[in-house]
């Protein structure tokens, strides 16, 4: 049997959760997605957005697989290898059951995703897929963006308000630091929103699935660090004019004048490229 056929022989996700008494843990930010139709839709829409038929010859990393909904959907698309990173021993046992059927195509890492450097694991092409734990989603994203050139794509689920911030345009209330860094480094596509009732337990908010693909913009570590520094200052006092919020930067008035950026503008009125221009001057 191929991997897709093997996945179809597994017990339903609900039966798996019941068999293991798998109640979601709030401390781990767990909300389980048990509808295989939705997890299949996530992976298929992601592949379509990338112009890919499947994950053949690709290495995929999944953070927090839980009972294995996305895991099954990824494996059905024939990856060269899927590596899952999980902290919950109950979920690791479920992964071990799947591994017993698919062999070395599935690798299980017991540990904290924030301590893993996927950019150094396996060969390319590399992809990250995750229904992200909401309590660490932004932290993980910032880390992965800094090494985005190591990946072909990231297919990530966020709470909708975070996704809105990532996609936000200049001069909108949601526009901020994560919008700027994401849009300078990636082409970000929204796939679809997911109703909270699709999860167990149901969170109080909607979720959104995004696909990130590197723009190969060539930004250096120093440029990214400078952008983080500038945007932290600018959006830390977002209602102030940038000549005030960025006053800690030496010669900021001269820099803004040189770049033809009005010093009476506020942070949300500068587009990502303007923040990059400032970063290149400090």
Structural domains of the chain, ranges and CATH numbers in brackets: 3-214 (3.40.50.150), 221-279 (1.10.8.100)
Determine the pLDDT at residue 254: 94
% of residues, the chain, pLDDT over 90: 75
Average pLDDT score over residue span 38-48 = 97
pLDDT at 23 exceeding the cut of 80: no
pLDDT at 11 exceeding the cut of 60: yes
pLDDT band at 48 (very low <50, low <70, confident <90, very high): very high
How many CB atoms neighbour CB 195 within 10 A?
A: 10
Determine the pLDDT at residue 29: 55
Average pLDDT score over residue span 130-153 = 93
**C-alpha–C-alpha distance, residues 98 and 111, integer Å:** 18
User: Which residues make beta-bridge pairs with 43?
Assistant: none
Whole-prediction pTM: 0.93
Give the mean pLDDT of the chain. 92
% of residues, the chain, pLDDT over 70: 97
pLDDT band at 241 (very low <50, low <70, confident <90, very high): very high
Average pLDDT score over residue span 224-235 = 95
Determine the pLDDT at residue 209: 98
pLDDT at 26 exceeding the cut of 70: no
Average pLDDT score over residue span 255-272 = 95
- Phi first, then psi: give them for residue 249, nearest 5 degrees: -85, 125
Determine the pLDDT at residue 21: 75
pLDDT at 189 exceeding the cut of 90: yes
Determine the pLDDT at residue 30: 63
């Amino acid at each position: 049997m191929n991997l897709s056929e093997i996945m179809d022989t597994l017990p339903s996700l609900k039966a798996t959760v019941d068999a293991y008494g798998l109640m979601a843990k709030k401390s781990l930010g767990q909300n389980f997605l048990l509808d295989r139709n939705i997890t299949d839709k996530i992976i298929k829409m992601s592949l379509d957005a990338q112009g890919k038929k499947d994950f053949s010859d690709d290495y995929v990393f999944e953070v927090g697989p839980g009972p294995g909904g996305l895991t099954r959907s990824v494996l059905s698309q024939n990856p060269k290898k899927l590596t899952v990173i999980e902290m919950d021993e109950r979920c690791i046992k479920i992964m071990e059951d799947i591994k017993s059927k698919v062999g070395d195509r599935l690798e299980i890492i017991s540990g904290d995703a924030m301590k893993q450097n996927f950019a150094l694991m396996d060969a390319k092409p590399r992809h990250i897929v995750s229904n992200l734990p909401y309590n660490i989603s932004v932290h993980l994203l910032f880390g992965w963006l800094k090494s985005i050139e190591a990946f072909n794509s990231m297919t990530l689920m966020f709470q909708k308000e975070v996704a809105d911030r990532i996609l936000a345009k200049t001069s909108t209330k949601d526009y901020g630091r994560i919008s700027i860094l994401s849009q300078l480094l990636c082409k970000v596509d929204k796939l679809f929103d997911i109703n909270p009732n699709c999860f167990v337990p149901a969170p109080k908010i909607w979720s959104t699935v995004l696909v990130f693909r590197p723009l190969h913009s060539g930004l250096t570590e120093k440029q990214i660090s400078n952008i983080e520094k500038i945007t932290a200052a600018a959006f830390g006092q977002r209602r102030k004019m940038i000549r005030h919020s960025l006053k800690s930067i030496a010669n900021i008035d001269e820099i803004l004048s040189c770049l033809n950026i009005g010093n009476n503008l506020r942070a949300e009125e500068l587009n990502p490229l303007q923040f990059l221009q400032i970063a290149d001057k400090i």
